[in-house]
């Protein structure tokens, strides 16, 4: 089955800095890669996603890149703000299935 590795497990940055979280996946059949943000005590919420026919996608301060050959995908957050502090999960899914295989999560702490 699919296996998703996520690094780092914790990330501390100063407000205004950039943050990068990296994930690798094992199954070349995976073609959908969402990123979820989970604040303390709340449900995971989708912040951005990318499909295998695209190499990069941006949404304001957030961007995701995908390297299908290397089976890597990354989340980039620029100009971080304290409200970006949360746990971020990457995930992978195969065509036709709603099953998400998640990485173990990255706790991002943005200090003012």
- What does the DSSP assignment read for 44-85? -EEEEEEETT-SEEEETTEEEEEETTTTEEEEEE-S--GGG-
Q: How far is the CB of 71 from another protein (least distance, A)?
A: 17
Residue 94 CA, distance from chain mean position? 17
Of 17-25, 38-46, 56-64, 69-77, the segment contacting another protein by CB under 8 A is 38-46
9 three-class SS: coil
Of 17-25, 43-51, 66-74, 76-84, the segment contacting another protein by CB under 8 A is 43-51
Where in 44-63 is the site for another protein (CB under 8 A)? 44-46, 49, 51
Q: Which of 43, 69, 70, 83 binds another protein (CB under 8 A)?
A: 43
Where in 7-36 is the site for another protein (CB under 8 A)? 31-32, 34, 36
CB of 73 within 8 A of CB of 65?
Answer: yes
The residue among 9, 4, 24 whose CA lies nearest residue 88 is 9
Q: 48: number of CA atoms within 13 Å, CB side?
A: 18
Residue 107 interacts with another protein (CB under 8 A)? Answer: no
* Interface with another protein (CB under 8 A): 1, 31-32, 34, 36, 42-46, 49, 51, 89, 91, 93-105
């Amino acid at each position: 089955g699919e296996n998703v590795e996520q690094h780092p497990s914790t990330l501390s940055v100063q407000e205004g800095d950039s943050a990068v979280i990296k994930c690798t996946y094992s199954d070349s059949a995976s073609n959908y890669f969402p990123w979820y943000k989970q604040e303390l005590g709340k449900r995971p919420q989708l912040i951005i996603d990318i499909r295998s026919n695209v190499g990069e996608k941006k949404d304001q301060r957030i961007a995701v890149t995908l390297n299908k050959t290397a089976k890597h995908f990354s989340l980039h957050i620029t100009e971080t703000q304290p409200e970006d502090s949360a746990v971020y999960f990457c995930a992978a899914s195969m065509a036709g299935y709603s099953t998400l295989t998640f990485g173990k999560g990255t706790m991002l702490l943005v200090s003012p």
